[in-house]
């Protein structure tokens, strides 16, 4: 059983810390507003992913297999939302004192939406549940509970790591030109992740 939990941990951490739209938003938010201001996004995305794992584990994956158009719909809605977020990041302006003029960093709800509308989150959770939960017919509830807890912890650590990275480079972005260039690059990277949604 311990080896299964360790495998869950490794799987969940790799899925959470690999580059993706949620992590790009976390880095950009921390670079512009600081780590503490990025925490609502980190927590929102973490809660959303844990809920996705739970829903998939209690049978939503079979519904998605029967009705694949739901996943297709999710892809388009998610792509539109991520493009909106990339526009917000890329067009953030600065005031005379060098501070970002963007009104507020992403809130908890935007963190939830960025994860909830992220097809990668659904695909990773479906593969994880199929490997670690449904394959253990003896006690699937226990394995689902464990996978949800581990997914929560690893998702928080994974996205939080990207927010820490944003905080670390924040001092280098005191120059207005560098910060504007950084925001445009992050906005571009986020929009490129949308393209990958439609090319895979």
Please work out, in degrees rounded to the nearest 5, the angle formed at the alpha carbon of residue 41 by the alpha carbons of 183 and 33: 45
| Residue 19 resides in a domain | no
Burial of 127 (0-12, 13-18, 19+ CB in 10 A): middle
pLDDT at site 103: 60
pLDDT at site 13: 92
Nearest to 191 by CA among 96, 52, 90, 93: 90
What's the total number of domains in the chain?
1
| Residue 9 resides in a domain | no
Range of the domain at 53: 24-199
Tell me the average pLDDT of the chain: 85
Read off the pLDDT of residues 25-37 as tens digits, 9 standing for 90 and up.
Answer: 999 999 989 999 9
Token pair in block for residue 120 = 């990668």
| Residue 14 resides in a domain | no
Q: 94 forms bridges with which residues in the sheet?
A: 100
| Residue 176 resides in a domain | yes
pLDDT at site 61: 64
| Residue 3 resides in a domain | no
| Residue 162 resides in a domain | yes
| Residue 10 resides in a domain | no
Are 85 and 193 in contact by the 8 Å Cβ rule? The answer is no
- Say which residue the tokens 């939406």 belong to: 113
Q: What is the mean pLDDT of residues 67-87?
A: 80
Read off the pLDDT of residues 4-19 as tens digits, 9 standing for 90 and up.
Answer: 889 999 999 998 998 8
Read off the pLDDT of residues 125-176 as tens digits, 9 standing for 90 and up.
Answer: 888 888 888 776 678 889 999 999 999 999 999 999 999 999 999 888 777 7
DSSP at 139:
-
| Residue 5 resides in a domain | no
pLDDT at site 77: 83
**pTM for the whole thing?**
0.83
**DSSP letter for each residue of 20-42:** -HHHHHHHHHHHHH-HHHHHHHH
């Amino acid at each position: 059983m311990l080896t299964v939990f360790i495998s869950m941990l490794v799987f969940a951490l790799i899925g959470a810390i690999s580059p993706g739209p949620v992590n790009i938003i976390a880095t950009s938010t921390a670079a512009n507003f600081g780590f503490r201001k990025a925490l609502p996004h980190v927590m929102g995305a973490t809660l959303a992913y844990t809920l996705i794992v739970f829903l998939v584990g209690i049978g939503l994956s079979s519904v998605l297999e029967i009705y694949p158009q739901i996943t297709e719909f999710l892809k388009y809605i998610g792509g539109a939302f991520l493009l909106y977020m990339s526009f917000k990041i890329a067009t953030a302006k600065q005031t005379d004192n060098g501070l970002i003029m963007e009104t507020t960093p992403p809130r908890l709800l935007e963190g939830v939406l960025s994860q909830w509308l992220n097809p990668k989150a659904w695909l990773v959770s479906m593969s994880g549940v199929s490997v670690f939960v449904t394959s253990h017919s003896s006690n699937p509830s226990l394995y689902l509970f464990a996978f949800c807890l581990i997914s929560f912890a690893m998702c928080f650590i994974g996205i939080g790591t990207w927010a820490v990275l944003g905080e670390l480079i924040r001092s280098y972005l005191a120059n207005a030109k560098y910060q504007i260039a950084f925001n445009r690059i992050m906005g571009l990277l986020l929009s490129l992740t949308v393209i990958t949604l439609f090319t895979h």
